[in-house]
Structure 1
Amino acid sequence: MFDEYFNPPGDRHSLPTCEVQDPVIPTGPSESITMDVDAPSG
């Protein structure tokens, strides 16, 4: 079921979307952004 939902006829369009969200899941870039905001604030 999930395969059909994640791999629809136009899965090519879904592939790039997943790749873009992949780097957003880790806390690496998220922590960097928080530090950047804390630097100018402090």
Structure 2
Amino acid sequence: MNDRQKRELAAQLAGLAFGAFMVLGMAWGVVRVARVLVG
């Protein structure tokens, strides 16, 4: 693996981690809203 491939792989992993973080944040927001509506 050369440096360019390593950088591209790191960028892909960072993008995946960011996407997962965004999805978790959205799910957390939905749960909070649901709790307020139910409670």
TM-score computed with the length of structure 1 as normaliser: 0.34
Higher relative contact order (CA 8 A, sep 6+): 1
TM-score computed with the length of structure 2 as normaliser: 0.35
Give 1 or 2: higher helix fraction. Answer: 2
